[in-house]
A and B are shown apart, each in its own frame.
Chain A
């Protein structure tokens, strides 16, 4: 394209190209905001898809997944305990105490629950499992196996079997005594040799311990979010997506809300940007922010009048508020753990190094947090430049979401709306065409006549055939004969037959006149010849024609004039298929027949309707109509067709 050319876009399309550009910008935005880290980049992308609430659920998914895993392990443990006849379960203080203790030894809740379940099964006693947890922890840390596996080894030892890992630890099965006695001897040996291993491991592996604490934190959050999450899943399926579409439509119809909502949207992005870093430190405020978003959703519910959205927003906000409290409590625990870990740094070089790493990471986080305000400003400015916040009708994000939703759900309503729009437009266009055509017709009938040329002009202008123009005019002026040339011809021919019937009827009433052959029309001549032929004379003998009886004598000199006195007769108006209009028949045959009509045979037209037939520019009066119709009839009988080339009013 030439440089500097003016490009006037008429039709805008949101295509894959637009999506790619938007994605690219968001990626750039993420890279630009160093202080916000990957979390924000992901959040930014996800938010850009305009399904913030969906992303909230996704964001909390990992915590919920952890909670589900923990719940699954404890469920398994409860069943195993119940099968042994124990009244202990996950809610029992003894169990919770054991879990807390094991957590402090850097075992996760799920690990502990799993080990207790295995122990209860293999010892056939929940109490035995509880009692052996400490030893199992020491074995696990010494041998590098899982807590559950260590518990299984102890269970086998209780049955009198020493597995290789235990043998490697120096365990020798006594040869005498009951299994219980033997097991007690073995556990005493192991306790003496392995005591303190688990604690030492926890103290020398603070990162592992911290990881366990983080998992506990995650679990705490997940437990609180789980009911909300379940509600979200149901909500998404049944309510949110349709309501979001409704919301988008609402915004399109009420653009005055665009700016306020854009501001809210920007606020959400701003808050989440801040939260993205805060989460790295404690995570406690995240749920509070989610609560804010839920309130926004609730607000949208008010705007759109959607009760479901309002109710969901309220319950989600409440649930997330509780989650925030839990997060804060968990964060407090974490802080305490961190302080305990700090105390250890003087005792172990490994701990010192680990804590230095942690401190370094913490400093980086703190530095990033310190930069947050500047980054926020930058991000917001970038967002403003990118125009990503407005939820306008031209917002590609919304459009893409709406489009996908449309495709997925086969949005019949939208389709129907578009159909109506087009139908309305077509109706409007049709009206315009009708109005224009009517105007054209009024123009050409200003002289009370539409010539063949005018029909041709109209046909060319309207883009339809001449016949269609004639039919159209017929419809406009309610002239049935014009609506369809074939129909008009059929009616015309029928009219002529009726006319002949009238002729014959008249022949019975009127006496035969004298007409010389020279002045007869071909029809008259044919009738005369037929009645005077010798062959027909015999056939017609005795037949009463025109009040007389044919004799077998020579032909009468007085010829038969079938038309004499026929027209006009009061009360016997000839059929006029073209009454009220002028028909232009462009046939020379028709003109010739007309030309052959003699004025001597033309009766008076007084008292009848005057009909003008415009034949190739020649006007034919009603008086000669019978002759003309005879000619047409003869042509029809002889197989010649009548060519209609146009009509006029």
Chain B
């Protein structure tokens, strides 16, 4: 993740710009939303209709084991629900302690099954059980390695979205600058 782009002044620019030109704010928002929507659509397309493993139930467990997910059992493979659980967000969210940045645009994979499909096998090595190890292996063999949905889409689209974002932000800043100068 070297050379990541961190934007500054987005919130303040939009806040100030809103006082002068709401259309410009809308344009900025539209640009960003459009870019995020494309990534979201792509992420959804990575969720196959069929379960990646034949034994992955399509329906929630009738009598799940209490030890699994607080009694809810292993999440069912419901592609429609999983795709609906992939959303784009521009909420700032938590501050990352590492660099004190917040999110200005993100994809979120919400559903439990989606999360399992996204992350299973990310940690190197086998699983804690034999079946877990097999699960990871088969899942990785039949699909790509871990980071299969939202992260995959993000990795593919990050550069473009960052550039779109930079361009839209610069445009908004220029608009604001013009507005400020004309209102001196």
Contacts and interface: CB of A to CB of B under 8 A. Distances in A.
Contact of B9 (A6, A11, A394, A403): A403
A6 B167 contact: no
A8 B92 contact: no
Nearest to A426: B167
B110 A387 contact: no
Contacts of B178: none
Nearest to B104: A13
B97 interface: yes
A361 to B, nearest CB: 37
Contacts of B154: 8-10
A17 interface: yes
A15 B102 CA distance: 7
B108 A6 contact: yes
Given A21-B95, A255-B2, A396-B6, A15 B11 contact: yes
Contacts of B17: none
Which range contains the number of B residues in contact with the other chain?
35 or more
A425 interface: yes
A350 B166 CA distance: 70
B101 interface: yes
Interface in B90-105: 92-93, 95-105
B8 A399 contact: yes
Contacts of A6: 108-109, 114-115, 118-119, 149-151
Contacts of B104: 11-13, 15
Contacts of A21: 95, 97, 100
Nearest to B43: A8
A18 interface: yes
B101 A18 contact: yes
Given A17-B92, A18-B101, A400 B8 contact: yes
B53 interface: no
Contacts of A387: 97-99
A210 to B, nearest CB: 43
A588 interface: no
Contacts of B25: none
B47 interface: no
B108 A18 contact: no
Contacts of A4: 112, 115
Interface residues of A, number: 41
B92 A15 contact: yes
Interface string A1-36: 110111111111111111101100100000000000
B90 to A, nearest CB: 9
A10 B101 CA distance: 12
A255 B167 CA distance: 25
Interface string A267-302: 000000000000000000000000000000000000
B7 interface: yes
B36 to A, nearest CB: 7
B99 A396 contact: yes
Nearest to B101: A12
Interface string A385-429: 011000011111101101100010000000000110110011000
Interface of B: 2-12, 32, 36, 39, 85, 89, 92-93, 95-112, 114-115, 118-119, 149-151, 153-154, 157-158, 161-163, 165-167, 170
Interface of A: 1-2, 4-19, 21-22, 25, 255, 386-387, 392-397, 399-400, 402-403, 407, 418-419, 421-422, 425-426
Given A2-B85, A11-B162, A422-B170, 7 more contacts: A9-B105, A13-B102, A13-B103, A14-B8, A392-B99, A396-B100, A418-B166
